[in-house]
């Protein structure tokens, strides 16, 4: 009854209240006028941002994950919320996961009353969507430049109304990289009207030059871009009086003595208060690419970032009129008719994956693994309901009910990447068994290993002839620390029993490991099973209650 009452109340609460989430496991705002990096302790790879008055909007790579092109909003560059997504389908549509493909390194700009997001699809070309508001609706994707290997695009509308586009190249598709090219677009930014010109070649000195962002300041054209590779690279600044160059360059941010690997790829913003800041990512292996914030000093005529070109870990907050402390959403009570903005699927959403219920749950239907033509693991299961990991140490707990109508129907929690491990409850005969599913090399087609951990009796059963089912209520938990996952379960939500073997997290393809819910079955025919998720909670310690 309480869940139903909450659901009715929440439907009439203004949507703004959803954004004011406070994380238990990571908050960059220190409460004393300073912040500690990362400002986003989650996998927002290849971040870019723009300012509209005192509001800041950030987007990031989403690859195959849908909805894609996440848009985050902030009033001070430190406290962020997920505002929505600009892409609800892959292009072209696909119900099969396209791991590592799709949306690469977007750029977001506000021009002439509209938001524009450009990204590179390495197999199709430079894509673009636009909208008058970040909430949408966004236009259908437009292919601005067709071709393989074009990645990391960024537009610039010049003072005379002309529009230029800079981009990098993916060696995996084009056969070369480390070069940046520039071309002119139509004034509306919809199509290329000139051929590309190489404006920079990183060569051996700045190998793997990529991720360019194009700006104009004080009569200079600027390209800010990383080189040297994701794990150990650095930031370059290039300037020229002509958009086509020649460009002179300097390193403006690097690891130095800071111990901060990377620092890699991001975007510059000039605030309404007259300050300059730069966001960039840091690669943290299985946790993905987390986002840092650095001050920018132009006094030398170059945008020197951080402390003399090395990253700050803690620094004063940007000047802002906002005092709101908030973080991207993590926990979910599933009391809304809309799925929380933190969740993504591995492919385009299909209604048969799952949907909210009127009594305050989210229902996943068991996906038939035989549809995957003999594949031996969960790598290409599209209906995994996943979100980014929020910190290096956290506890994730889910309260679930599996309604199993046939044997071999399973549901539970999962840590997913190129390898994965899941804690699931599975119907077997007239009861259930708790199992750990593990696969170390899922991308390579390795067979999944299943280990029985405990036998469980049904919580309830239906005897209706046309709809027989066994039910099992359970609390499932994963504790994550230093890249290792340890599972536990409870029948009452108070006392948790550790089970299974520890699992070392692995990143996905160009993304960090992701956590969430799984519902699958080994049957090719028959009624599907149901996994009703009451809530999913992220806590620092304890049992999630």
The pLDDT of residue 3: 56
Active site residue 473: no
- What digits encode the pLDDT tens for the residues 316-359? 999 999 999 999 999 999 999 999 999 999 999 999 999 999 99
Paired sense of beta strands 530-539 and 393-404, if any: antiparallel
Q: Can you say how many angstroms the Cα of residue 422 is from the centroid of all Cα atoms in its chain?
A: 20
Q: What is the pLDDT of residue 542?
A: 57
What are the residues facing 198 on neighbouring strands? 181
Classify residue 87 as left (phi > 0), alpha (psi -120 to 50) or beta.
beta
Spatial CA neighbour of 515 closest among 542, 476, 543: 476
Instruction: List the one residue out of 347, 400, 404 whose CA is nearest residue 372.
Output: 347
> Is residue 46 annotated as a catalytic residue, yes or no?
yes
Q: What is the DSSP letter of 396?
A: E
Q: What percentage of the chain reaches a pLDDT higher than 90? A: 89
Instruction: Give 122 or 375, the one with higher predicted confidence.
Output: 122
pLDDT over 70, % of the chain: 95
Q: Which fold has domain 354-539?
A: Jelly Rolls (2.60.120)
pLDDT at residue 90 in the model: 87
CB atoms inside a 10 Å sphere around CB 134: 21
* pLDDT value for 472: 98
Confidence of residue 369 (pLDDT cuts 50, 70, 90): confident
- Exactly one of 24, 29, 43, 46 is catalytic; which is it? 46
Delimiting residues of CATH 2.115.10.20 domain(s) in the chain = 44-316
**φ, ψ for residue 79, nearest 5 deg:** -100, 120
- d(CA 256, CA 234) in angstroms, rounded, equals 10
In Å, how far from its chain's centre is CA 200? 30
Q: Looking at residue 464, what is its pLDDT? A: 74
Tens digits of residue pLDDT in 19-41: 589 999 999 999 999 999 999 99
Residues of the chain with CATH 2.60.120.200: 354-539
CB atoms under 10 Å from CB of 19, counted, come to 18
pLDDT attached to residue 7 = 45
CB 163 within 8 A of CB 156: yes
Question: Residue 16 above 70 pLDDT?
Answer: no
pLDDT band at 172 (very low <50, low <70, confident <90, very high): very high
Tens-digit pLDDT profile for residues 124-158: 999 999 999 999 999 999 999 999 999 999 999 99
Residues 44-72 have a mean pLDDT of 98
Which CATH number is 44-316 given?
2.115.10.20
pLDDT digits (tens, 9 = 90+) for 155-168: 999 999 999 999 99
Question: What confidence score (pLDDT) does residue 376 get?
Answer: 87
Q: How far apart are CA 488 and CA 432, in angstroms?
A: 17
Among 427, 412, 426, 404, residue whose Cα is nearest residue 488: 412
pLDDT digits (tens, 9 = 90+) for 457-469: 999 998 777 678 9
Taking only the tens place, the pLDDT of each residue in 187-236 is 999 999 999 999 999 999 999 999 999 999 999 999 999 999 999 999 99
pLDDT in tens, 409-453: 999 999 999 999 999 999 999 999 999 999 999 999 999 999 999
Mean of all residue pLDDT scores within the chain: 94
State the average pLDDT over residues 393-404. 98
What is the distance between the alpha carbons of residues 109 and 251, in angstroms, rounded to a whole number? 25
Our CA angle for 227, 156, 290, nearest 5°, is 40
Whether the pTM exceeds 0.75: the reply is yes
């Amino acid at each position: 009854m309480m869940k139903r009452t909450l659901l009715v109340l929440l439907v009439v609460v203004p949507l703004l209240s959803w954004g004011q989430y406070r994380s238990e496991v990571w908050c960059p705002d220190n409460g004393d006028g300073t912040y500690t990096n990362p400002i986003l302790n989650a996998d927002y790879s290849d971040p870019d941002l723009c300012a509209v008055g005192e509001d800041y909007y950030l987007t990031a790579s989403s690859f195959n994950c849908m909805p894609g092109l996440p848009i985050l909003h902030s009033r001070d560059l430190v406290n962020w919320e997920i505002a929505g997504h600009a892409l609800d389908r892959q292009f072209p549509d696909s119900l099969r996961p396209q791991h590592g493909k799709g949306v690469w390194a977007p750029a977001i700009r506000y021009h002439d009353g509209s938001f524009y997001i450009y990204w590179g699809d390495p197999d199709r070309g430079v894509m673009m969507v636009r909208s008058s508001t970040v909430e949408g609706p966004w236009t259908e994707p437009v292919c601005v430049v067709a071709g393989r290997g074009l990645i990391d695009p960024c537009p610039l509308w010049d003072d005379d109304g002309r529009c230029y586009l800079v981009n990098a190249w993916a060696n995996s598709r084009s056969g070369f990289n480390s070069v940046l090219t520039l071309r002119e677009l139509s004034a509306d930014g919809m199509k290329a009207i000139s051929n590309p010109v190489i404006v920079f070649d990183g060569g051996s000195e700045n190998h793997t030059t990529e991720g360019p962002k194009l700006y104009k300041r004080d009569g200079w054209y600027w390209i800010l871009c990383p080189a040297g590779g994701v794990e150990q690279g650095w930031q370059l600044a290039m300037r020229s009086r002509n958009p086509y160059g020649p460009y002179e360059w300097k390193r403006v941010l690097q690891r130095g003595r800071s111990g901060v690997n990377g620092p890699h790829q991001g975007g510059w913003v000039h605030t309404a208060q007259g300050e300059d800041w730069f966001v960039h990512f840091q690669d943290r292996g299985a946790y993905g690419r987390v986002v840092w914030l650095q001050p920018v000093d132009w006094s030398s005529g170059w945008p020197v970032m951080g402390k003399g070109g090395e990253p700050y870990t803690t620094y004063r907050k940007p000047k802002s009129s906002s005092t709101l402390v908030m973080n991207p959403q993590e926990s979910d009570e599933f009391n809304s008719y809309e799925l929380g903005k933190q969740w993504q699927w591995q492919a385009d959403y299909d209604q048969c994956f799952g949907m909210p219920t009127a009594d305050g749950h989210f229902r996943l239907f068991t996906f038939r693994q035989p549809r995957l033509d003999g594949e031996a693991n969960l790598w290409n299961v599209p209906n995994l309901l996943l979100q980014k990991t929020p910190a290096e140490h956290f506890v994730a707990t889910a309260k679930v009910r599996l309604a199993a109508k046939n044997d071999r129907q399973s549901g539970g929690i999962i840590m997913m990447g190129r390898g994965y491990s899941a804690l699931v409850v599975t119907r077997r005969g007239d009861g259930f068994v708790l199992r750990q599913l593990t696969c170390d090399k899922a991308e390579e087609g390795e067979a999944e290993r299943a280990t029985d951990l405990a036998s469980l009796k049904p919580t309830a059963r239906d005897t209706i002839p046309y709809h027989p089912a066994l039910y099992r209520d359970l609390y499932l938990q994963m504790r994550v620390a230093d890249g290792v996952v340890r599972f536990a379960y409870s029948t009452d939500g108070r006392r948790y029993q550790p089970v299974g073997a520890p699992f070392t997290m692995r990143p996905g393809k160009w993304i960090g490991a992701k956590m969430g819910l799984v519902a699958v079955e080994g049957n090719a025919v028959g009624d599907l099973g149901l996994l009703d998720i009451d809530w999913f909670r992220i806590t620092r310690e304890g049992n999630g209650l």
